């Protein structure tokens, strides 16, 4: 019986009943919630000629919004890659008063409505805000500038890096670090050669998640950005603007570009996760 069960598993059969019904329901639900609404974007855009589509997605104003959205998202994700890794390291490796509170605060951008976050950041960094009135005399303007967009996207992307790196860092074997120390390795060498290779896939995954989340962010950005065309206008806001102007074809054309970029990012994230799982599996002899 054991041999027959192994043969069934090798042939790909599932020992749990109801697989076909569950798979059919899954495909139906995903089609209803995800595929059908997204296909509407492509159907609407398909009515445009190639020249009209190209003009809609490559005009100067649209290109400026691409540069701001993707550039600010990349910078914010890069900042979170460094400081999010440090936060995860502190939460895993140190004990200090208020640790649970700090750990809970990491998830605050998840729970906080994005509009509330945008209003709070604007009040904080505006020229008469708590921090803004100190930065203004130094010539540093945060609110209503591209720098404010970076600040907002960094705020909403921090939990992705911390929560991705934290469990991986907890699983790093301390014996390896102790063995390296016994062999004469310094603290920097232990981190670079033992710890960093182990958490590098998680860091890359967290970076990709933060970047993907930031590219489509809207609520927390529109309040602090200033929304000036060619200067501080993000692509999601430009889509909303075109919808308000009844330029549905132009809005869906830009949405298709954003959708394709998001799909490419999700594919990269899945490949990184598959690579992480592959690295974590023991080699067969």
Query: pLDDT tens-digit profile of 25-46?
Result: 888 888 888 888 888 888 888 8
pLDDT for the residue 210: 92
In degrees, to the nearest 5, what angle opens at C-alpha 20 toward C-alphas 14 and 22? 100
For the chain, give the DSSP string: -HHHHHHHHHTT--SSS-HHHHHHHHHHHHIIIIIHHHHHHHHHHHTS-HHHHHHHHHSHHHHHHHHHHHHHHHHHHHHHHHHHHHHHHHHHH---TTHHHHHHHHTHHHHS-HHHHHHHHHHHHSTTSTTHHHHGGGT---TTSHHHHHHHHHHHHHHHHHHHHHHHHHHS-HHHHHHHHHTT--HHHHIIIIIHHHHHHHHHHHHHHHHHHHHT--HHHHHHH---TTTT--HHHHHHHHHHTT-HHHHHHHHHHHHHHHHHHHHHHHHHHHHHHHHHSPPP-
Residue 275 has pLDDT above 70, yes or no: yes
pLDDT for the residue 15: 52
Neighbours of 125 (CB within 10 A): 25
CA distance 228 to 72: 15
pLDDT for the residue 283: 46
pLDDT for the residue 227: 87
Residue 11 has pLDDT above 70, yes or no: no
pLDDT for the residue 9: 46
pLDDT for the residue 48: 85
CA distance 223 to 149: 9
Supply the pTM of this predicted model: 0.83
Query: pLDDT tens-digit profile of 146-197?
Result: 999 999 999 999 999 999 999 999 888 777 777 888 878 887 888 888 888 8
Q: Are 132 and 126 in contact (CB under 8 A)?
A: yes
Tell me the two tokens of residue 216: 């489509």
Q: To the nearest whole number, what is the mean pLDDT of the chain?
A: 85
CATH classification (class only), 50-279: mainly alpha
């Amino acid at each position: 019986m054991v041999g027959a069960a192994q043969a069934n598993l090798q042939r790909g059969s599932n020992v749990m009943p109801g697989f076909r019904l569950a798979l059919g329901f899954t495909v139906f639900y995903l089609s209803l919630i995800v595929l059908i609404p997204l296909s509407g974007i492509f159907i609407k855009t398909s009515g445009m000629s190639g020249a009209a589509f190209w003009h809609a997605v490559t005009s100067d104003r649209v290109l400026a919004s691409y540069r701001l959205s993707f550039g600010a998202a990349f910078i914010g994700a890069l900042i979170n890659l460094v400081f999010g890794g440090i936060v995860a390291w502190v939460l895993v490796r140190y004990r200090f008063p208020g640790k649970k509170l700090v750990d809970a605060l990491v998830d605050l951008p998840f729970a906080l409505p994005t509009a509330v976050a945008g209003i709070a950041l604007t009040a904080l960094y505006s020229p008469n805000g708590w921090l803004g009135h100190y930065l203004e005399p130094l010539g540093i303007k945060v609110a209503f500038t591209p720098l404010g967009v970076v600040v907002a996207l960094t705020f909403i992307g921090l939990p992705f890096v911390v929560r991705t790196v934290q469990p991986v860092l907890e699983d790093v074997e301390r014996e390896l670090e102790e063995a390296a120390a016994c062999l004469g390795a310094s603290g920097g060498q232990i981190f670079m050669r033992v710890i960093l290779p182990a958490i590098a896939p998680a860091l890359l995954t967290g970076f990709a998640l933060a970047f993907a989340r930031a590219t489509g962010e809207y609520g927390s950005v529109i309040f602090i950005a200033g929304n000036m065309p060619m200067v501080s206008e993000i692509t999601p806001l430009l889509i909303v603007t075109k919808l308000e102007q009844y330029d549905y074809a132009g809005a869906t054309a830009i949405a298709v570009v954003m959708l394709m970029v998001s799909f490419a990012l999700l594919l990269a994230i899945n490949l990184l996760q598959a690579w992480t799982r592959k690295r974590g599996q023991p080699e067969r002899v």
